[in-house]
A and B are shown apart, each in its own frame.
Chain A
Amino acid sequence: MATNSKEIKIPAKVEQLSTVQSFIEEILDAAGASMKASMQISLAVEEVFVNIASYAYGGKDGDATIKVETDTDHSQVRITFIDSGVPFDPLKKEDPDVTLSASERDVGGLGIFLTKKTMDDVKYVNQDGKNILTISKII
Chain B
Amino acid sequence: MLSIEKKTNGDQLTIALTGRLDTVTASDLEKEVDTSLESVKELIMDFEHLDYISSAGLRILISAQKIMNNNGSMKVVNVNESIMEIFEVTGFADILTIE
Q: How large is the interface on B (under 10, 10 to 19, 20 to 34, 35 or more residues)?
A: 20 to 34
Given known A-B contacts A18-B24, A101-B95, A105-B95, A43 and B52 have beta carbons under 8 A apart:
yes
Does A47 reach chain B (CB closer than 8 Å)? yes
What B residues does A60 contact at CB under 8 A? Answer: none
Query: Do the beta carbons of B23 and A114 come within 8 Å of each other?
Result: no
Given known A-B contacts A43-B52, A47-B55, A114-B90, A17 and B23 have beta carbons under 8 A apart:
yes
What B residues does A39 contact at CB under 8 A? Answer: 51-52, 82
Query: Do the beta carbons of A98 and B62 come within 8 Å of each other?
Result: no
Does A91 reach chain B (CB closer than 8 Å)? no
What A residues does B62 contact at CB under 8 A? Answer: 102, 105, 107
What A residues does B56 contact at CB under 8 A? Answer: 50
Query: Do the beta carbons of A46 and B86 come within 8 Å of each other?
Result: no
What A residues does B58 contact at CB under 8 A? Answer: 110
Given known A-B contacts A100-B91, A102-B95, A105-B95, A43 and B86 have beta carbons under 8 A apart:
yes
Query: Do the beta carbons of B69 and A102 come within 8 Å of each other?
Result: yes
Q: CB-CB contacts of A30-64 with B at 8 A, as 1s and 0s?
A: 00000110011011001100100000000000000
In the complex, the 5 A-B pairs of residues with the closest C-beta atoms, listed nearest first: A98-B91, A110-B55, A111-B55, A102-B65, A107-B59
28 A-B residue pairs with CB within 8 Å: A14-B23, A14-B24, A15-B24, A17-B23, A17-B24, A18-B24, A35-B82, A36-B82, A36-B85, A43-B52, A46-B22, A46-B23, A47-B55, A50-B23, A98-B89, A98-B90, A99-B91, A101-B95, A102-B62, A102-B66, A102-B95, A103-B66, A105-B62, A105-B95, A107-B63, A110-B58, A110-B90, A111-B55
Given contacts A100-B91, A102-B69, A107-B62, 13 further A-B contacts (CB under 8 A): A35-B82, A36-B81, A39-B51, A42-B52, A43-B54, A43-B86, A98-B89, A102-B95, A103-B66, A107-B63, A111-B54, A114-B55, A114-B89
